[in-house]
């Protein structure tokens, strides 16, 4: 089918605030949307998957100032970090919008102007309560006990001239949208919105600020910056090239093709913006409304929302490096019942990898390819009618029914249940091996065709399972196809039983290695401990240094003084001799997202080629210094052995580069 004939499907994540510490919570929404986008693509839809970053506001302005950077420079670095994260997690997005994109800014100004022209935006004075972190105005009734209804933090008195959006005008239509359609899900969120915001009264919304400058200015009244949420929500149409000066009929083809969005996905704390403010703005713009907004639950840490400001975040880079991207994708998608909150537990994640991915899926593939080789030299053919065992009909029906079952779950956005049914088939396949006992069939020549049929059925199960796992764990699915000797399918058309004529299988490396959960937890303790309170105590040295024959203690420093030194794990990615310097090596280090050059006096102990891949400890905040004309951006820690040679200090087991050493 050509792209033009395909049905469009437009799915979005929230656009994230640029953060220095991207965590598993951010990954959750993006991985869920990625799985849904991939599922739709394989189901034959023309998908547009949009994500991006929300880069304006007082918070960014102040953080940039503290970092001595312009807001643009500041966000550019952070945005590069999130793009790296999405690449690592194999996120196949079609569009990445930044609210600092000039095209977005122009469209938002145009939207504001259009709403001014239609009378939906008017200028007036605000008097009430203001929540600085949320940049939100509230009336005294809304901000009960002077607390922000959104974040619960204290508000302060405020009076300001600003622009208002006539939200009140749309109350009845919004109430209908929420209560009479399936626009907002899950339904519990509808009750929250209606009871907390729509039931009694809906106030007009202050949509400009004069308290900061880093944002999109109101055209013709530059003292006013457009409210960050009007700016942010508009991303969903600006990314398609919406033209606010034109009618619907005259919109660019991309807008007409993908708008209205099929699904806006987010977590519950921003449902109000997506289910009240955004539809009202669209009503005012006379644009069709999105088909669905879904507010999923939170990934919690110790019962609290995982969030950078609370310092309780789990680092996806570290987890992916240790266990692989698909293990992380799988755990996020399987462990969390979609829509509900879930307390993060590394132990549960590791157990999930062991049970589902290693024991069930990995073993099934290993056993099946090994038996194919052992009994049929890896060549298995489609059985003829009547060949097989009494257990086949039941099993093959399950293979045949899997696609439908997964479709039903995903149509209801039940991602975790979808994976559950796929893994149910894997476990059925393992049981089928126990029931049919191929090793006994192999002993009886008369049973050769039955044995071939059993293996064929197992391979078919694996093929259909791998096809349906493609949206969730794409790399693993590809590895399975490789073992089955098949090309990776481009759609779900053949996700049915008996679609393969012959198999020529391969025995590859195991899909997932079994983890020693206890040991892993111990190893992870120091690197993942989200509060940064490493359990190792800093031991004071027992050594006494000699000074004029007197025994004296080395100068003691406080823990705060020690923490001024920023130590980080770094990985050597390149090393070479420094010309005319016998002792020096020039090292290129990977420090998380960063690359550093360090000149180190270790050439007497190490050959450059032996250092590649080695983990070292870097003093990361040392002032740069020039050594033999090369700028050395830090120093690596070494001990001196009994021969007086430098020996690199390295972590005892593998940890991700960039991780702090304390």
Residue 621, SS3 per DSSP: coil
Give the interface segment with ligand MSP, choosing from 153-161, 303-311, 349-357, 606-614 (CB under 6 A): 303-311
* Sole binder of ligand MSP in the list 233, 406, 419, 477 (CB under 6 A): 233
Which of 322, 231, 188 lies closest to 17 in space, CA to CA?
231
Contact 112, 121 (CB under 8 A): yes
- By CB under 6 A, what part of segment 5-24 binds ligand MSP? 14-17
Which position has the token pair 């208002």?
164
* Sole binder of ligand MSP in the list 83, 166, 305, 412 (CB under 6 A): 305
Closest CB 79 distance from ligand MSP, rounded Å: 12
Query: In 344-428, where do the E strands start and end?
Result: 379-381
* Sole binder of ligand MSP in the list 143, 277, 299, 325 (CB under 6 A): 299
Give the interface segment with ligand MSP, choosing from 130-138, 231-239, 405-413, 523-531 (CB under 6 A): 231-239
* Sole binder of ligand MSP in the list 10, 28, 48, 137 (CB under 6 A): 28
Give the interface segment with ligand MSP, choosing from 61-69, 229-237, 403-411, 496-504 (CB under 6 A): 229-237
Which of 404, 399, 405, 401 lies closest to 421 in space, CA to CA?
405
- Judged by beta carbon, residue 259 or residue 375, the one nearer ligand MSP is 259
Work out whether 415 is an interface residue with ligand MSP (CB under 6 A): no
- Judged by beta carbon, residue 72 or residue 640, the one nearer ligand MSP is 72
* Sole binder of ligand MSP in the list 108, 267, 451, 620 (CB under 6 A): 267
d(CA 306, CA 295): 16
**Residues 132-161: x/- map of binding to ligand MSP (CB under 6 A)?**
------------------------------
Residue-wise over 470-481: b if at least 16 C-beta within 10 A, else e? bbbbbebbebbb
- Judged by beta carbon, residue 21 or residue 506, the one nearer ligand MSP is 21
d(CA 395, CA 387): 14
d(CA 282, CA 174): 11
If 0-12 CB within 10 Å is exposed, 13-18 middle and 19+ buried, where does residue 483 land?
Answer: buried
d(CA 61, CA 71): 6
- Judged by beta carbon, residue 29 or residue 43, the one nearer ligand MSP is 29
CB atoms within 10 A of CB 407: 16
Contact 378, 534 (CB under 8 A): no
Closest CB 15 distance from ligand MSP, rounded Å: 5
Give the interface segment with ligand MSP, choosing from 145-153, 232-240, 346-354, 511-519 (CB under 6 A): 232-240
Work out whether 26 is an interface residue with ligand MSP (CB under 6 A): yes
Question: Which DSSP symbol is given to 536?
Answer: S
Per-residue tokens: 597: 């050059």
Closest CB 29 distance from ligand MSP, rounded Å: 3
Contact 261, 236 (CB under 8 A): yes
Give the interface segment with ligand MSP, choosing from 228-236, 458-466, 536-544, 588-596 (CB under 6 A): 228-236
Q: Nearest 5°: phi and psi at 660?
A: -75, 145
Which of 380, 393, 386 lies closest to 501 in space, CA to CA?
380
- Judged by beta carbon, residue 278 or residue 481, the one nearer ligand MSP is 278
Closest CB 61 distance from ligand MSP, rounded Å: 15
Closest CB 458 distance from ligand MSP, rounded Å: 38
Which position has the token pair 């913006």?
273
**CA-angle at 449, arms to 446 and 454, nearest 5°:** 120
Work out whether 308 is an interface residue with ligand MSP (CB under 6 A): no
Q: Nearest 5°: phi and psi at 599?
A: -100, 130
Work out whether 306 is an interface residue with ligand MSP (CB under 6 A): yes
Closest CB 286 distance from ligand MSP, rounded Å: 21
Query: In 17-135, where do the E strands start and end?
Result: 46-53, 95-98, 121-131
Work out whether 232 is an interface residue with ligand MSP (CB under 6 A): yes
Positive or negative, the Cα torsion across 625, 631, 637, 642?
A: negative
Closest CB 185 distance from ligand MSP, rounded Å: 15
* Sole binder of ligand MSP in the list 29, 51, 369, 389 (CB under 6 A): 29
- Judged by beta carbon, residue 266 or residue 602, the one nearer ligand MSP is 266
Work out whether 131 is an interface residue with ligand MSP (CB under 6 A): no
* Sole binder of ligand MSP in the list 108, 134, 240, 270 (CB under 6 A): 270
Contact 338, 299 (CB under 8 A): no
Contacts of 188 (CB under 8 A, 6+ apart): none
- By CB under 6 A, what part of segment 37-96 binds ligand MSP? 54
- According to DSSP, the β-strands at 263-267 and 293-296 are parallel
Closest CB 281 distance from ligand MSP, rounded Å: 11
Closest CB 22 distance from ligand MSP, rounded Å: 9
Give the interface segment with ligand MSP, choosing from 211-219, 299-307, 485-493, 495-503 (CB under 6 A): 299-307
- Judged by beta carbon, residue 22 or residue 395, the one nearer ligand MSP is 22
Q: Taking the mean position of all CA atoms in its chain, how far away is CA 528?
A: 17
Total residues in contact with ligand MSP, by rule CB under 6 A: 20
Per-residue tokens: 63: 């953080």
Which position has the token pair 């096809």?
467
Per-residue tokens: 269: 């704390």
**Residues 312-351: x/- map of binding to ligand MSP (CB under 6 A)?**
----------------------------------------
Closest CB 329 distance from ligand MSP, rounded Å: 15
Positive or negative, the Cα torsion across 275, 281, 283, 286?
A: negative
Between the alpha carbon of residue 488 and those of residues 379, 476, 526, the distances in Å are 19, 11, 40
Give the interface segment with ligand MSP, choosing from 100-108, 118-126, 162-170, 263-271 (CB under 6 A): 263-271
- Judged by beta carbon, residue 9 or residue 22, the one nearer ligand MSP is 22
Closest CB 298 distance from ligand MSP, rounded Å: 4
Which of 402, 21, 93, 112 lies closest to 265 in space, CA to CA?
93
d(CA 269, CA 127): 25
- Judged by beta carbon, residue 117 or residue 304, the one nearer ligand MSP is 304
Q: Which residue is nearest to ligand MSP (CB)?
A: 25
Give the interface segment with ligand MSP, choosing from 132-140, 250-258, 302-310, 422-430 (CB under 6 A): 302-310
The torsion angle over the Cα atoms of residues 98, 100, 102 and 104, rounded to 10 degrees, is 50
* Sole binder of ligand MSP in the list 164, 259, 298, 497 (CB under 6 A): 298
The alpha carbons of the chain give a radius of gyration, in whole angstroms, of 30
Closest CB 540 distance from ligand MSP, rounded Å: 39
Work out whether 266 is an interface residue with ligand MSP (CB under 6 A): yes
Per-residue tokens: 568: 């980080």
Residues that bind ligand MSP (CB under 6 A): 14-17, 25-26, 28-29, 54, 232-233, 235, 266-267, 270, 298-299, 305-307
């Amino acid at each position: 089918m050509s792209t033009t004939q395909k049905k469009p499907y437009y799915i979005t994540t929230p656009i994230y605030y640029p953060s220095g510490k991207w965590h598993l919570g951010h990954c959750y929404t993006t991985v869920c949307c990625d799985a849904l986008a991939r599922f739709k693509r394989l189901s034959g839809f023309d998908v547009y998957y949009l994500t991006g970053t929300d880069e304006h506001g007082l918070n960014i302005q102040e953080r940039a100032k503290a970092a001595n950077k312009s807001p643009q420079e500041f966000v550019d670095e952070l945005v590069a970090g999130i793009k790296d994260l999405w690449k690592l997690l194999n996120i196949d997005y079609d569009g990445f919008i930044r609210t600092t994109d000039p095209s977005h800014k122009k469209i938002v100004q145009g939207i504001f102007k259009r709403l001014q022209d239609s009378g939906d935006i008017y200028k007036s004075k605000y008097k009430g309560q203001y929540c600085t972190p949320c940049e939100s105005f509230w009336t005294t009734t809304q901000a009960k006990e002077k607390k922000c209804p959104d974040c619960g933090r204290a508000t302060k008195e405020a009076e300001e001239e600003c622009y208002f959006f006539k939200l009140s005008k749309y109350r009845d239509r919004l109430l209908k949208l929420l209560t009479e359609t399936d626009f907002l899900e899950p339904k519990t969120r509808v009750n929250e919105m209606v009871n907390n915001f729509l039931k009694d009264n809906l106030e007009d919304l202050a949509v400009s600020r004069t308290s900061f400058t880093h944002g999109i200015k109101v055209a013709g009244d530059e003292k006013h910056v457009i409210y960050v949420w009007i700016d942010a929500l508009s991303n969903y149409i600006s990314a398609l090239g919406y033209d606010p000066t034109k009618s619907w009929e005259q919109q660019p083809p991309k807008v007409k093709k993908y708008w209205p969005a099929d699904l806006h996905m987010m977590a519950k704390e921003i449902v109000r913006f997506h289910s009240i403010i955004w539809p009202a703005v669209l009503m005012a713009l006379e644009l069709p409304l999105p088909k669905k907004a879904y507010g999923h639950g939170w990934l919690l840490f110790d019962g609290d929302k995982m969030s950078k400001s609370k310092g309780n975040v789990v680092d996806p880079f570290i987890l992916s490096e240790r266990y692989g991207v698909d293990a992380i994708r799988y755990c996020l998608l399987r462990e969390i019942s979609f829509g509900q909150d879930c307390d993060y537990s590394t132990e549960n994640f590791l157990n999930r990898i062991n049970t589902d991915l290693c024991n069930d899926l990995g073993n099934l593939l290993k056993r099946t390819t090994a038996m194919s080789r052992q009994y049929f030299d890896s060549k298995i053919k489609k059985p003829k009618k009547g060949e097989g065992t009494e257990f086949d009909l039941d099993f093959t029906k399950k293979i045949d029914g899997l696609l439908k079952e997964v479709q039903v779950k995903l149509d209801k956005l039940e991602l975790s249940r979808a994976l559950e049914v796929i893994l149910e088939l894997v476990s059925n396949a393992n049981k089928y091996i126990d029931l049919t006992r191929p090793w006994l069939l192999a002993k009886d020549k008369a049973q050769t065709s039955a044995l071939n049929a059993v293996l064929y059925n197992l391979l078919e199960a694996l093929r259909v399972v791998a096809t349906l796992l493609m949206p969730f764990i794409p790399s693993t699915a590809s590895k399975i196809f490789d073992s089955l000797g098949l090309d990776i399918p481009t759609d779900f058309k053949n996700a049915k039983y008996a679609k393969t004529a012959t198999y020529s299988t391969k025995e590859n490396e195991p899909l997932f290695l079994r983890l020693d959960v206890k040991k892993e937890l111990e190893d992870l303790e120091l690197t993942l401990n989200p509060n940064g309170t490493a359990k190792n105590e800093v031991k004071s040295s027992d050594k006494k240094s000699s000074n004029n024959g007197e025994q004296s203690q080395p100068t003691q420093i406080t823990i705060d003084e020690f923490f001024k030194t920023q130590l980080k794990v770094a990985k050597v990615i390149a090393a070479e001799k420094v010309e005319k310097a016998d002792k020096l090596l020039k090292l290129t280090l990977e420090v998380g997202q960063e690359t550093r050059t360090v000149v180190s006096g270790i050439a007497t102990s190490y050959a450059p080629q032996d250092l590649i891949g080695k983990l070292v400890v870097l003093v990361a905040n040392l002032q740069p210094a020039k050594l033999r004309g090369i700028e050395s951006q830090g120093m690596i820690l070494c001990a001196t052995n009994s021969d007086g040679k430098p020996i690199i200090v390295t972590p005892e087991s593998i940890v991700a580069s960039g991780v702090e050493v304390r």
